[in-house]
């Protein structure tokens, strides 16, 4: 049964290599379970205890720790330039009419194609609108 330690070491290396290659925060939790199983193996615990601890610890880390770490990582998320437009105000430079597929707004020194969030509403030039979303290269405004 001494060969089982090599299986746990191999699994640990595999999980770490996959995590480094993908950075998706998926296999790191299984690496944590593998470390616990490895420690139990070194303490001469039965294989069943090692396997159960591997699954329990891995699942617990995946369910409990991942959301906390995901939230912490997204805390410092910097919006891209397109995402930063959402919620901003823009001036209509060309009448926005979804039916005629016309409309443009001016924001941050650039003219963007725009469509109204309310497909039946026509927005006249000179009005100030709020950017609600981005669809392809068009701003959806209200």
Residue 29 burial (CB count, 10 A): 22
pLDDT tens per residue, range 63-84: 998 888 877 777 666 566 677 7
**Coil vs helix vs strand at 101:** coil
Give the whole-number percent of the chain exceeding pLDDT 70.
94
Structure tokens at 95: 């009448």
Q: How confident is the model at residue 40 (pLDDT cuts 50, 70, 90)?
A: very high
For residues 103 and 81, which has the higher predicted lDDT (pLDDT)? 103
Q: What is the pLDDT of residue 120?
A: 87
Does this model's pTM top 0.85? My answer is no
Q: Hey, what domains does the chain have and what are their CATH numbers?
A: 1-75 (no CATH), 83-141 (2.40.50.140)
- Decide: 88 and 114 in contact? Cβ < 8 Å: no
The CA distance from 109 to 9, in Å, is: 57
């Amino acid at each position: 049964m001494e060969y089982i330690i090599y299986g746990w070491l191999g699994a640990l290396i595999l999980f770490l290599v996959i995590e480094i290659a993908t950075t998706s925060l998926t296999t790191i939790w299984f690496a944590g379970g593998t470390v616990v199983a490895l420690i139990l193996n070194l303490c001469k615990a039965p294989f069943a205890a090692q396997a159960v601890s591997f699954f329990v610890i891995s699942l617990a880390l995946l369910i409990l720790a991942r959301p906390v770490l995901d939230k912490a990582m997204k805390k410092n998320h910097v919006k891209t330039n397109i995402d930063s437009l959402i919620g901003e105000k823009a001036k209509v430079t060309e009448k926005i009419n979804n039916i005629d597929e016309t409309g443009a707004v001016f924001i941050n020194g650039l003219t963007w194609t725009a469509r109204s969030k309310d497909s039946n509403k026509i927005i006249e030039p000179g009005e100030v609108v709020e950017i609600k979303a981005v669809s392809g290269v068009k701003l959806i405004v209200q």
